[in-house]
Amino acid sequence: MSETDLLEAPPSGGDADRVELRSYARPDITRSIRDLATSVVPFLALWALMFLAFPVSYWLVLALAIPATGFLVRTYILFHDCVHGSFLPGRRANAWVGTALALLVLTPFARWRYEHLTHHATSGDLDRRGVGDVPMITVAEYQSKRWWGRLGYRLYRNPFVLFGLGPIYSTVIMQRIPNPIARKRLHASVWGTNLAVAVGFVLLSLVFGWQAVLLVEAPLVVLAGGVGLWLFYVQHQYPTTYWRRTDEWDYTDAALRGSSYLRLPKILQFFTGNIGLHHVHHLNPKIPNYNLQQAHDDQPMFQAVQPLSIWQALKSVHLKLYDEDSGRLVTWKQLRRPSPASAAS
């Protein structure tokens, strides 16, 4: 499927529901500018303060990194809206702003746009996993692996690896390497971003020193990357999430049953750009972040969606595999027990 097709609309299902949400899928230039002013501007100010604080105290740098992380995560949500063409009127405007924000979040815009839109078109489809999502396998697939395959998967799904080393790998390494089978334009997106990031690193190093640049960027990569990975994880990985084989898969069901409603305190909802309302976002990704809450509150179809608390979301990191017999994600401990369906048979 081409990127243009992915941008225009999801491939199938949910047409009536998306029509009902169309009134929310209109960017408001005033609110979009306000978003930039309450995310990018404070992040850049705090980022600059971190460099100025470096010669004084690295503890002060780390203290400043905490609010800077919040504003960087919020900036990433604006980048994400640009990817969907929902932040500003016009695809070109979204592409230009998204490409600029890509330099702050160290993520190639065109490459990530293609992978993320593919994720939206295939989310919850067991036969089309693997692009733009957190890798997850079924119980049967895990049991069919040799011991080293099982060990590798267990290591990958370890919370320390996934949310500790994962942000470093994802941000510093994975986003720097183009997919060999990707189109040339996506390769250009990766190498263009790499060049811009390298130039920025050199210029900052000439002013502040390369040690300062590394030690200022390190906590931002770990903290913002870790929060971003955790958010992306809990948006689709919780006990009753939706996974089906292609012949049974439905776009609307995947959005409403396979995308979480993560209910957060207002301050965290602000810093995460309302992305906790992920069920609304997946049903119509053209809705800008500042309209998600209104769409959820207005539309009866969303009232039946059960919210996920922060505690439930934190516990979801123990989920490892999808059990097709029970239709649930399970932990390693649950894997050792037969599912009710298996026991009955």
218 and 115 Cβ atoms separated by less than 8 Å? no
pLDDT (0 to 100) of residue 185: 87
pLDDT (0 to 100) of residue 119: 93
pLDDT (0 to 100) of residue 3: 53
User: pLDDT digit string (tens) for 15-64?
Assistant: 555 568 889 999 999 999 999 999 999 999 999 999 999 999 999 999 99
Given a cut of 90, whether residue 110 has pLDDT beyond it is yes
User: pLDDT digit string (tens) for 224-241?
Assistant: 999 999 999 999 998 889
Go through 24-38 and write b for each residue having 16 or more CB atoms within 10 A of its CB, e for each that does not: bbebeeeebeebeee
pLDDT (0 to 100) of residue 11: 47
User: pLDDT digit string (tens) for 285-321?
Assistant: 999 999 999 999 999 889 888 999 999 999 999 999 9
Tell me the C-alpha distance between 136 and 52, whole Å: 42
pLDDT bin (cut points 50, 70, 90) of residue 134 is: confident
pLDDT (0 to 100) of residue 317: 92
Considering only residues 140 and 181, tell me which one the structure prediction assigns the higher pLDDT.
Answer: 140
Edge-to-edge order in the sheet of strand 328-330: 137-138, 321-323, 328-330
User: pLDDT digit string (tens) for 189-225?
Assistant: 999 999 999 999 999 999 999 999 999 999 999 999 9
pLDDT (0 to 100) of residue 113: 94
pLDDT (0 to 100) of residue 271: 97
DSSP of 158-173, one letter per residue? Answer: SHHIIIIIHHHIIIII
pLDDT (0 to 100) of residue 340: 53
pLDDT (0 to 100) of residue 15: 54
Beta bridge partners of 125: 244
Token pair 């900036």 is found at 75
Given a cut of 50, whether residue 345 has pLDDT beyond it is no
pLDDT (0 to 100) of residue 270: 97
- Strand-strand pairing, 261-262 and 307-308: parallel
Beta bridge partners of 261: 277, 307
pLDDT bin (cut points 50, 70, 90) of residue 133 is: confident
Tell me the C-alpha distance between 48 and 154, whole Å: 40
DSSP of 276-316, one letter per residue? Answer: TBHHHHHH-TTS-GGGHHHHHHH-GGGTTSPEE-HHHHHHG
62 and 219 Cβ atoms separated by less than 8 Å? yes
253 and 279 Cβ atoms separated by less than 8 Å? no
pLDDT (0 to 100) of residue 12: 46
Beta bridge partners of 137: 321
Given a cut of 60, whether residue 115 has pLDDT beyond it is yes
pLDDT (0 to 100) of residue 64: 98
User: pLDDT digit string (tens) for 167-180?
Assistant: 999 999 999 998 88
- Name the phi and psi angles at 11, rounded to 5: -70, -35
Tell me the C-alpha distance between 237 and 322, whole Å: 9
How does the average pLDDT of the chain come out, rounded?
90
pTM: 0.90
Considering only residues 271 and 21, tell me which one the structure prediction assigns the higher pLDDT.
Answer: 271
